[in-house]
A and B are shown apart, each in its own frame.
Chain A
Amino acid sequence: MKRRILLLFSIILTWVLFYNCSDRFETPTIEKDSTIVYPPKSENGIYAKITFSNKISIKTGKPLKAGTIFKLKKKTKVHATIELMDYKSESQKELMLHIDWLNSNGNSLYKKRIDISPSDSSSSVLSSISISPPKRKVGEYSLRVYLFRELIAEKKFQLVESIPDSQTVKKKYTSKKKIKSEKKVEVQKSTKPKVKKEIIEANIILCRKVSKKTGKPIGEGTIFTIKENNNVKAIVSFKKKNIKTDEQMKFYFNWIGPDGKLFYKKRIIYTTSNPSFTISNSISITPEKRQPGTYTLQVVFHKKIIAEQKFELLIPTK
């Protein structure tokens, strides 16, 4: 009898410990736009909607030409707009959101963690990946959104080849040759390893927004006006010598208020093989959220501040 009670107790304990702790239902529902949603168990729980697009409207910040099939093309990106529904109900505490881009083999190719503070009123999050042909291949990719480490939404998209022509075939052939020769060089290098100190340089440009046409910053400066729908956008250009193939780097964008306290911290895990790359991050500067004063943005890499920029927020003069 004692043994049976013990067994029953163990089963109940395991169930309570693991299954009952989940905030989500295991069975997903599929939305009209093909987002796979894992609904919250509580009525006030957050759920997410994912929209893929090639472009984002600078004016509204909303996705343009949404879809799930994209052509592999140079200097092209797939943007994911993740809209958090019922966000207000949970907005009293810091939210930990993870965005994970998976390739057709199910491997994670880019993961980003975003901590949303209660003072941040934005209910949508943007993330994008490059779909340039040497970086990405044809296949079914997916994006997963996790809230407090639990999967809350998932959506698939396809990358297809642009119509092949003789030129592209030729290019492919030469690029393959190039890759082979690069590999040879790599092999030669690996036989005699040299320990080099890696240096990363970062340069911060602050602006109001980025031009949709040219991609250049608009309203560049260090003084900004607190106003409805206004943002401060940081465009950080990085240069890293001796970058490895598909090197994964972790950066922190620390936004510090006039009181010297950190009010928004964004962690970005960036994977690239390019020695020069750019990462941007922005904060909203609406009157409800920000006070006038001197703010600071710090970019942290490997626990060291690699770039810092101060900026002023002012109340608009009447």
Chain B
Amino acid sequence: MLVDHCSYYLNSIWKYLDPFDPLFASWGQVALRYVSYLCAPGFLIINGAMVWWSYYRQKSKGIDDWTIRRKLIQRGLFLVILQMTWVNSSWSGFNSFQPWHLGIIACIGISMILQSFILNFRWELQLLLASLILIIHPLLLNIPYDTNDIWSTALMQTFIDAGKFNKYPVLPWYALALLGSVMAHGWFKVWNSDRKRILWSIGIGISTLVIATVIRVARGYGNIFPFSDFGSYSFFFDQKYPPSLYFSLWFFGCSVIVIGIFIAVNKLLPRLFLVFDITGKVALFFYCIHIAILGVFSKRIGLFYREGDVAATLIGVVIMMIIMVPLSQWFYKVKSKSKNFIIKMM
């Protein structure tokens, strides 16, 4: 995420890169963009898993279903409002107020609201629902709508299609959140040792990658962009906005494998992920503040705005981490003591 956002502000490729139809001049640029493709699926999967965990933790404390649901809906709405106010404005360095636009944070918020209604469903049912959504979504993309009509655009792009109003339509991403909830059933309940968690995560991840590969190689349903050969750049770059069936499955597989690897590496080198542990505890704060800093200093003031390339992006990442890690640590302390509604929600 940070890599992609630093690239967006510092990398000159963004002068001509169209995220809906990306073109690349070097493998460095491909790597930079591709790494960030893991981000949104990862966000939704982890969020889905966290919602599951939060539900069962509260349930074990004797809190009733509707109280838990109310809290989740409240948080979901908070995320939608946060997107429309702070996040949208921060992209331009607070140069303009653009509330009528949704994005990944709003998508997570709406997914959370929808997920709150089916949390008590069995994992098999949730898996079935997620699979059905992913399979049907490519068909829904054929629904015609007039992009000049505000209401049909808002409705279509909130749930199905991607465009200027919203790059992250809820349906396909909600399916990933549901898959995250299914995985949480394994991670937090069934697989009772790290070894099991690692093996099952990697096993499920690889199986999903195989299914995704079969869909891609068939070049038919579930594909959007054509590709040249198996294993080429274009093979891996199917459409992200909105995601194709191949994209959703491929990145679900990758994310689950990465989580499995993280569990494994954390066992071998527990201190390696300390930095991520700090920022991960206040992930929403990290997201909101790092964009604001980049937006103000790079876009608004013009500091190295789209002047560099891959190296500039990576230097930007290091500088931002130097700024954000202590800030996140400070905010975590503030958050643990605070009773303020907004601070607690972050």
Chain A residues with CB under 8 Å of chain B are 2-3, 6, 14, 18-23, 26, 90, 93-96, 98, 100, 102, 105-108, 111, 113, 115, 144, 146-151, 195, 197-198, 302-304
- From A107, A150, A195, A302, give the contact of B234 (CB < 8 A): A150
Question: Do residues A149 and B22 form an inter-chain contact, with CB atoms below 8 A?
Answer: yes
Question: Do residues A96 and B234 form an inter-chain contact, with CB atoms below 8 A?
Answer: yes
List, in ascending order, chain A residues with CB within 8 A of B31's CB. 14, 18
Contact flag A105-B15 (CB < 8 Å), given A6-B265, A149-B22:
yes
**A26 CA / B175 CA spacing, docked (Å):** 38
**A273 CA / B269 CA spacing, docked (Å):** 58
Scan B15-45; emit 1 where CB is below 8 A from any A CB, else 0: 1101001111111001100100000000000
Given contacts A3-B268, A108-B16, A108-B18, 13 further A-B contacts (CB under 8 A): A3-B269, A18-B31, A21-B27, A21-B231, A22-B232, A23-B232, A93-B226, A106-B16, A149-B24, A150-B24, A302-B147, A303-B145, A304-B146
Question: Do residues A149 and B26 form an inter-chain contact, with CB atoms below 8 A?
Answer: no
Min CB distance, A308 to chain B, in Å?
14
**A6 CA / B265 CA spacing, docked (Å):** 8
Interface membership of B319, Cβ < 8 A: no
Min CB distance, B233 to chain A, in Å?
5
Interface membership of B237, Cβ < 8 A: yes
Min CB distance, B268 to chain A, in Å?
6
- From B16, B144, B148, B226, give the contact of A100 (CB < 8 A): B16
**A111 CA / B225 CA spacing, docked (Å):** 16
List, in ascending order, chain A residues with CB within 8 A of B234's CB. 96, 148-150
Question: Do residues B226 and A94 form an inter-chain contact, with CB atoms below 8 A?
Answer: yes
Closest 6 CB pairs of A and B: A108-B16, A148-B234, A148-B228, A302-B147, A18-B31, A151-B25
13 contacts between A and B (CB under 8 A): A2-B268, A20-B231, A21-B27, A21-B236, A22-B27, A26-B27, A105-B15, A106-B15, A111-B21, A148-B232, A149-B237, A302-B148, A303-B147
List, in ascending order, chain B residues with CB within 8 A of A146's CB. 23-24
Interface membership of B12, Cβ < 8 A: yes
Interface membership of B123, Cβ < 8 A: no
Tell me the nearest residue of chain A to B141, going by C-beta: A303
Contact flag A19-B27 (CB < 8 Å), given A3-B268, A198-B148:
yes
Contact flag A148-B148 (CB < 8 Å), given A22-B30, A22-B233, A108-B15:
no
Contact flag A18-B34 (CB < 8 Å), given A149-B24, A302-B147:
yes
Question: Do residues A23 and B25 form an inter-chain contact, with CB atoms below 8 A?
Answer: no
Question: Do residues B16 and A149 form an inter-chain contact, with CB atoms below 8 A?
Answer: no
The CB with the most chain B CB atoms within 10 A, among A98, A100, A303, is that of A303
Question: Do residues B232 and A21 form an inter-chain contact, with CB atoms below 8 A?
Answer: yes
**A107 CA / B268 CA spacing, docked (Å):** 46
**A195 CA / B148 CA spacing, docked (Å):** 10
Scan B137-176; emit 1 where CB is below 8 A from any A CB, else 0: 0000000111111100000000000000000000000000
Min CB distance, A249 to chain B, in Å?
11
**A41 CA / B51 CA spacing, docked (Å):** 47
Interface membership of B124, Cβ < 8 A: no
Question: Do residues A197 and B148 form an inter-chain contact, with CB atoms below 8 A?
Answer: yes
Min CB distance, A5 to chain B, in Å?
10
List, in ascending order, chain A residues with CB within 8 A of B148's CB. 197-198, 302
- From B15, B18, B146, B232, give the contact of A111 (CB < 8 A): B18
List, in ascending order, chain B residues with CB within 8 A of A113's CB. 21
List, in ascending order, chain A residues with CB within 8 A of B225's CB. 96
Question: Do residues B146 and A302 form an inter-chain contact, with CB atoms below 8 A?
Answer: yes
Question: Do residues A18 and B226 form an inter-chain contact, with CB atoms below 8 A?
Answer: no
Question: Do residues A149 and B231 form an inter-chain contact, with CB atoms below 8 A?
Answer: no
Question: Do residues B18 and A148 form an inter-chain contact, with CB atoms below 8 A?
Answer: no
Tell me the nearest residue of chain A to B20, going by C-beta: A250
Min CB distance, B223 to chain A, in Å?
11
- From B15, B144, B145, B146, give the contact of A107 (CB < 8 A): B15
**A223 CA / B120 CA spacing, docked (Å):** 64
Contact flag A26-B12 (CB < 8 Å), given A21-B236, A115-B226, A148-B233:
no
List, in ascending order, chain A residues with CB within 8 A of B12's CB. 106
Min CB distance, A7 to chain B, in Å?
10
Question: Do residues A18 and B27 form an inter-chain contact, with CB atoms below 8 A?
Answer: yes
Question: Do residues A21 and B24 form an inter-chain contact, with CB atoms below 8 A?
Answer: no
**A181 CA / B35 CA spacing, docked (Å):** 47
The CB with the most chain B CB atoms within 10 A, among A90, A113, A195, A302, is that of A302
Interface membership of B331, Cβ < 8 A: no
Tell me the nearest residue of chain A to B150, going by C-beta: A195
